[in-house]
Structure 1
Amino acid sequence: MANKIMIVDDEPDVVDLVKIVLKSEGYEVVTATSGKEALEKIGNEMPDLVLLDIMMPQMDGWEVYNHIKSNTKTRDIPVAMLTAKSQSIDKMIGLHVVQVDDYITKPFGRAELLERVKKILTEKGRLQPPAR
């Protein structure tokens, strides 16, 4: 059974690009284009990893992250921020204060994205053989 990854970003082009990259490696992909949609889907989908944009309208990524981590059903799901906020202070807050599982800044390359996804899944004991 392939790993299921949820992509949450309000930019459809980013969602489509990340989806294509992940599916090409055999991952199952679920998408959401808002924080509200992500929270509606996550409990049913139970992804192995969430790739979450920070800057979204209505509900930003930090608020979505807090909802995920405060819910007993979803709190163990790893979350990596996938964001244009590339200043070192933003990354430091994400990794060391909030303690997200990874902080990936846009733009990113295909190899970097796949390597970091695999690393998180491996570290969290969630890596499954890819579906081919």
Structure 2
Amino acid sequence: MSKERILVVEDQPDISSLLKIYFTSQGYEVFTAMRGQVALDICSKTPPNLALLDVNLPDMEGYDIGKALRASPRTRHIPIIFLTARGERRDRLIGLGEVQAQYYIVKPFDIEEVHTIVKNQLEDARRKNQLHPVTNLPTAELINDQLRLMLTTQGWGMALVHINGFETFTQSYGSVVGEDVLKFTALLMNEVLNDLGSSEDFVGQMVVGPDFVATSAPERLKAICERLISRFDEEIGLHYNYKHRKQGYIDVPDDNGNMRQAPLMSISIGVLTSQDGPFYDIRELSETAEETRQRAVQQAREQGRKSWVTYGRVR
């Protein structure tokens, strides 16, 4: 399981250093930012599991960071805890009401008390099965919530992304290296959506299997999928040893114990838009997206390609 990521946004170096040292010693991966824009950039590239926010920052108020996190589908689920010197009633109401933070703690604080609150918030998120244990991407009900919301609107697009050959790879290289591939794919999807998408876009991962979901506007999805395929095919070889990378396949035993050549991993993508509807529930949408993705696998074979994307349902 990956370390849980905590974002500390604090412009006082001594407090920022204290929090980073303490939470790192407790087994967390800690990111720090002294400016609000830096914090938002971190969240867009590698969303944390929890954010500790100061209010007074050089470029914006911590409230604005919290509101931005709540406004984005990729970060609205993140627990927010304010650590600030501003303890007036009005400030608390903004933090807890407008931003919908989980806690509002006034400095000076007891760091062990803060740790207890952080630990409880992260455990609560795990109980709700909200984040994938390896990639920390939204999963389970968070994906379902996003799809339900999407189905109530028009002008949406959805891409179902599967890593072909992942199971064979993990059998040969082991589950730990397999987790590195999942993390690489999650980071790649976030980077591509940051470059070509918008703050309204969403990326999540299914609880079981190497399957990811991305939502965006239909006019952006084609470029997003093409970039995903191009970069995945270019960079996935780095997860193999030199021999396998050079020959373009790995030797694995079949069910009878005979060796066969398994190609390097690729991705298959099935894309649906609101124009392919109507879809009456998320089950129908998910099943249709999987059927579309399966056609991508077949078309890749027919075209002699590694990765492939297929658009639209078959009626």
TM value normalised by structure 2: 0.38
1:49 corresponds in structure 2 to 50
- Which runs of no fewer than 5 residues in structure 1 stay unpaired? none
Higher relative contact order (CA 8 A, sep 6+): 1
Separation in structure 2 between the aligned mates of residue 23 and residue 12 of structure 1, nearest angstrom: 16
Separation in structure 2 between the aligned mates of residue 15 and residue 31 of structure 1, nearest angstrom: 7
Larger radius of gyration: 2
* Percent identical residues: 38
1:82 corresponds in structure 2 to 83
Q: Give the residue type in structure 2 aligned to 1:64.
A: I
> Post-superposition shift, 1:53?
0.6
> Post-superposition shift, 1:116?
1.0
Q: Give the residue type in structure 1 aligned to 2:74.
A: K
1:109 corresponds in structure 2 to 110
2:62 corresponds in structure 1 to 61
1:3 corresponds in structure 2 to 4
1:124 corresponds in structure 2 to 125
Q: Give the residue type in structure 1 aligned to 2:123.
A: T
Equivalent position SS for 2:38:
helix
Q: Give the residue type in structure 2 aligned to 1:47.
A: P
> Post-superposition shift, 1:97?
4.3
Equivalent position SS for 2:104:
strand
The question of whether the paired residues in 2 share the 8 Å contact of 1:8 and 1:38 is answered with: yes
RMSD: 1.8
The question of 1:23 aligning with 2:49 is answered no
| Residues 36-95 of structure 1: per-residue CA shift (max 9 Å, x gap) | 100111111211001011111221111111111111211111111111112344224422
Question: Higher helix proportion, which one?
Answer: 2
Separation in structure 2 between the aligned mates of residue 80 and residue 115 of structure 1, nearest angstrom: 12
2:13 corresponds in structure 1 to 12
- Which runs of no fewer than 5 residues in structure 2 stay unpaired? 134-315
Separation in structure 2 between the aligned mates of residue 105 and residue 47 of structure 1, nearest angstrom: 22
Equivalent position SS for 1:31:
strand
Structure 1 segments of 4 or more deviating over 3 A? none
Separation in structure 2 between the aligned mates of residue 91 and residue 47 of structure 1, nearest angstrom: 23
Equivalent position SS for 1:124:
helix
The question of 1:72 aligning with 2:57 is answered no
- Comparing 28-37 with 109-118, greater Cα deviation is found at 109-118
1:91 corresponds in structure 2 to 92
Separation in structure 1 between the aligned mates of residue 32 and residue 47 of structure 2, nearest angstrom: 12
Equivalent position SS for 1:123:
helix
TM value normalised by structure 1: 0.87
| Residues 81-117 of structure 1: per-residue CA shift (max 9 Å, x gap) | 1111123442244224432111122111121111111
Separation in structure 2 between the aligned mates of residue 84 and residue 62 of structure 1, nearest angstrom: 13
The question of whether the paired residues in 2 share the 8 Å contact of 1:102 and 1:120 is answered with: no
Q: Give the residue type in structure 2 aligned to 1:77.
A: I
Q: How many residues align?
A: 128
